[in-house]
Amino acid sequence: MHADSTVRINSGLINRITAAKVTALEQTAEALHTDLVQSQTMPRRSGTLQNTQTFVDYRNSQKGSCTIVSSTPYARRLYFHPEYNFSKAENSDAGGKWFEPYIEGEKKDFARQVFKERMKALGGL
């Protein structure tokens, strides 16, 4: 038995998918950041932590990684101490560990779903 086959690589499609995955990753990180702010779970007094000092860092998006950064000196202390008596005046669900719903909670599939939707839209797949 003898079989012949021909493989054709569609470089244009590969390049389009590669570009789409980077854009989809960046848009997914931005969507997660937006959802986090809208969920009103970050402690908020003046809005600095939530609105100006928490942002998406895209520096490694070409390598497949985006990071949501909170750059205030007190962010770590607030995040890892949910036992603090957080004011609910500005954000009704304020507390520590505000990323937990996205890691182990009810929103654990949020990033995966957004990425999937964005890849379909951007990659045409």
Give CA–CA dist 124/25, Å, rounded.
Answer: 15
Strand-pair partners of 56:
68
> Residue 109 belongs to what domain range?
11-123
Is the pLDDT at 77 greater than 80? The verdict is yes
What integer pLDDT is reported at residue 69 of this predicted model? 96
The span from the first CA to the last CA of the chain, in angstroms, equals 36
In a domain, 2, yes or no: no
Question: For the packed helices 11-38 and 110-123, what is the interaxial angle rounded to 10 degrees?
Answer: 140
What integer pLDDT is reported at residue 125 of this predicted model? 61
How many domains are there within the chain?
1
What integer pLDDT is reported at residue 30 of this predicted model? 97
What integer pLDDT is reported at residue 2 of this predicted model? 86
In a domain, 3, yes or no: no
What integer pLDDT is reported at residue 47 of this predicted model? 85
Average pLDDT over residues 93-109: 95
Mean pLDDT score of the chain, rounded to an integer? 93
Average pLDDT over residues 39-62: 93
Give CA–CA dist 125/117, Å, rounded.
Answer: 10
In a domain, 84, yes or no: yes
In a domain, 1, yes or no: no
Average pLDDT over residues 99-113: 96
In a domain, 4, yes or no: no
Give CA–CA dist 118/125, Å, rounded.
Answer: 10
Joined together, the tokens standing for residue 113 give 């779903």
In a domain, 6, yes or no: no
Give percent of the chain with pLDDT exceeding 70: 99
Is the pLDDT at 13 greater than 90? The verdict is no
Is the pLDDT at 60 greater than 90? The verdict is yes
Question: Which contiguous run of DSSP H or E holds residue 70?
Answer: strand 67-70
Task: Report residue 101's pLDDT band, with 50, 70 and 90 as the boundaries.
Answer: very high
Is the pLDDT at 55 greater than 70? The verdict is yes
Neighbouring residues of 26: CB distance < 8 A, sequence distance ≥ 6? 56, 58, 61, 66
Burial class (CB in 10 A: 0-12, 13-18, 19+), 18: exposed
